[in-house]
Structure 1
């Protein structure tokens, strides 16, 4: 059975766990877990993700507040050019010591001040378990969930990207005046009739 401390995403929090008011700063780099986006937009598995923030201890658990800095690989949805921006995402998450005990406190009304914090976190999806002994916080799921949720649905190389010509696929950013003279097919029959009449008049 794998041990929590063996995970490459594990952070030791034993020195602040169960000691309300304590704080543990963190500034480190983790490999990106699998499943963050796809080939169109996402973070490649194993890419360096910098995590900066702190674990703050409260009565019922640890609150992580900080930011993730990740290299995003994307393709502009208008011109299809590759985009490789550095991306910063703020994050706040709760790591309860014992989620069952927290639920009991909410039902009985004990620990009112702390339960309000836990209840707020439970209503969101930003709640993650500590290791069974409370000594390690595993950041893998938090990294994946946070970055997946923040991925842009339609990444652009720039806000005013002109995209590609629908007729020939030319990049309109490189040639904004590019255009094609296209005959409206609705008038094709009339043009043909006009040409036929002109030919008949000429032959007379």
Structure 2
């Protein structure tokens, strides 16, 4: 029997798991676990993650379907401004009863189990604890956002970025330009000036 460790992510599901066909609605916030992204794009540990969905009981466990929404802190990849926005991801996850997770992962169950596993989008199994009495959604939250968050984010799709010469924000100064002289023409410019001086 899996050892129960009550945490901020432990959800009692004994009633919904009592028999197939039961449903338990979830609409609450959980703290974000550690390890989601980095300082460029990530979710701060402890930030509120909104979980909205439901657990549906089947013969071998529970299926959770819903939406996870987390506040993402990032830095624009073009203009380097700080960003803070909500990032939502739809999920479907299978929580098998104890001793079923290993059989499913090894493909040793019957045809019904194979169909259930095929319906589960990510392929990850999140075992229930204490004979199906509790579900721990911490791994689900972490896995969802670790795989779904983009490597880079933009403040807006048409972000113009920064001036490569002086670092000015081109979004605020769209007409910003620099007169750039190619140093390869310095000798010709000097010769031109010399010829103009001689003509005088």
What TM-score comes out, normalization by structure 2 length? 0.88
Q: Which runs of 5+ in 1 are unaligned?
A: none
Aligned to 1:73: 73
Q: 1:116 to 1:40 in 2, by over 3 A?
A: same
Aligned to 1:147: 145
**Which contiguous aligned blocks of 4+ residues in structure 1 show a shift greater than 3 angstroms?**
100-104, 196-199
What secondary structure does 1:189 align onto?
Answer: helix
What TM-score comes out, normalization by structure 1 length? 0.87
Aligned to 2:33: 33
RMSD: 2.2
> What number of residue pairs does the alignment pair up?
197
Provide, for residues 49-80 of structure 1, a one-character-per-residue CA deviation record: whole Å limited to 9, x for no partner. 11110011111111100011111111111111
Q: What pairs up with 1:170-189 in 2 under 5 angstroms?
A: 170-189=168-187
Provide, for residues 126-167 of structure 1, a one-character-per-residue CA deviation record: whole Å limited to 9, x for no partner. 321222422111111110110111112221111111111110
What secondary structure does 1:155 align onto?
Answer: coil
Q: Distance in 2 between matches of 1:68 and 1:143?
A: 7
What secondary structure does 1:63 align onto?
Answer: strand
* 1:28 to partner: Cα distance: 1.1
Q: What pairs up with 1:1-204 in 2 under 5 angstroms?
A: 4-17=4-17, 19-97=19-97, 98-102=100-104, 106-107=107-108, 110=110, 112-121=111-120, 124-199=122-197, 201-202=198-199
Q: Distance in 1 between matches of 2:3 and 2:177?
A: 63
